[in-house]
Amino acid sequence: MDRQHSASSPSAADPEYVANQAYDVIVVGGGSAGCVLAARLTEEADVRVLLLEAGAAAADMPEFMAHPPAWPALGETSANWGDTTVPQHSGSALHEPGPRVFLPRGKGLGGSSSINAMVFARGHHTSYADWSAHGAKGWAFDDLLPYFQRTETAVSGAPGRGTSGPLTVAPMAAPNEVLLACLDGAVETGQRRAHDISGGLEEGFAPVDLNIVDGQRQSAADAYLTPALGRTGLDVVTGATAHRLLFDGRRCTGVEFGVDGRVFTVRAAGEVVLAAGTIGSAQLLLRSGIGPAWELRKAGVELFHELPGVGSNLHDHPLINIVHSASRTVPASRGNHGEIIGLLRSTPELDGPDLQIIFVDVPFPNPVAPVENGFTIGVSPLRPYSRGTLRITSADPYARPVLDPGYLTDERDVRAVLSGIGTARTIARSAALSPWGGEEIAPGPDVTGAEALAWYARTSVTSYCHPVGTCALGEDEVSVVDSRLRVRGLEGLRVADGSVIPSIPSNNTNATVYAIAERAAEFVRDAA
């Protein structure tokens, strides 16, 4: 039977057609992980894969998506789910609520790789040591290294980097002048100048690898999915919201999904793999009756399989911005705005870096005063102790989740932020930055002392857009998936995205998600 496609999107298969087909694997979610899985699994000609994506096909995404400096505006488009957290902890003795934090995540083929800031970094190797805390086997940095390498063609040619992967990654050839001044300021004030800050072995400051090729964004859809779309074994349905998982006994056999108000079911002879992200994958499990019994009862969902860890362990990198005006005109960005980062330790006795400093060539909006010309030094605690939850309120697949990442609820994270602010201020006062005439606007030079700076951090915190952990991997009772990413206690069902990360690594997480998906594809092939 010939494959049928919709007129609006030539890469999208007709849902009525796919509902009558037999697939070996169904992948739910066409973001970074889903694109990897669809591409890798269909490298074998006799494997049939269906990819379901709730958002749009590439042809229907915002036209400016490919233009790297435009990424901040993508959060206001249909390519973002538009999630916001519950009010966060303010630290107030009067228990005044803190801010609701905007939490962007990609909606459409490519997922968050289509709307993010394009930073591609593995994170320091030491930050993967905690992944075995709940019994996970074979997930140390060295175990992931072959999969990191498989994803990339690293232009730097640095030792340990990939040379033939789908993603072409490199720092900006000519970073923004103000960012180079920040880098010089960091070195001037005693910070190490790193060589390959993206590779996972170094601390210090350096230009970071970016997913920008020939001046344009390279998403997972660009690098992985598009080259695979002509394969006879791959069908893609966009605009398809997964409602619930289908089971025969304890075995997952398919997915119920909706398109344009119509409901379809599709079956998998082999496996269903959830790649809908930290929010989407946990939501689908919960709507399917898989999760904490008391939470499901509260949401009016019938319990199918009790897994207490689903939706717990939600955490993210909080970002606190130190905003400066400039007396010189900051050049317009040709890259992603944040082209240089630093990895450092908040205290010297730590086993590895727990802070990122990122230099940004625009003044981020701030709670103190608007700035038209300036730059930002962002501070993020990379190994946060704070944890939160994801919850659903009903089985309605279109209801918004209740998200509480618990930003800065653990005082150890606040202390790390205060250390980072001190470092950022030292760099800002360096001779290298003096020609820019930078003046700190937010929090402002008069805001000093731990209590005042902690208040600023908690009331101005934003998301670095790296949520993880809601389907954490491990081998104990609080783990959701085992060491081969299989949902514990069930058959034919895996999760392979950022939700399985039990403890966030010290990086912008997209590179790690790619590596997880590469490994998951291997697991699925081995099980076939």
3-state helix, strand, coil in the chain (%, to 5): 30, 25, 45
Catalytic residue among 89, 243, 324, 466: 466
Strands 22-28 and 262-274: parallel
The residue written with tokens 């591609």 in the block is: 120
The pLDDT tens digits for 449-468 are 999 999 999 999 999 999 99
Torsion of CA 383, 388, 392, 398, to 10 degrees: -40
Residue 398 tokens, joined: 């279109």
**Domains of the chain and any CATH numbers:** 1-64+79-88+102-168+217-315+387-406+466-528 (3.50.50.60), 171-208+318-381+408-460 (3.30.410.40)
Consecutive H or E run containing 39: helix 32-41
3-state secondary structure of 272: strand
Helices (DSSP H) in 223-333: which residue ranges?
Answer: 277-287, 293-299
Q: How far apart are CA 404 and CA 89, in angstroms?
A: 10
Distances (CA, A) of 40 to 50, 55, 222, 373: 13, 21, 14, 45
Catalytic, 95? Answer no
Q: Which residues contact 336 (CB under 8 A, 6 or more apart)?
A: 68, 69, 71, 117, 118, 119, 210, 212
Those residues of the chain that have pLDDT short of 70 are 1-12, 93-95
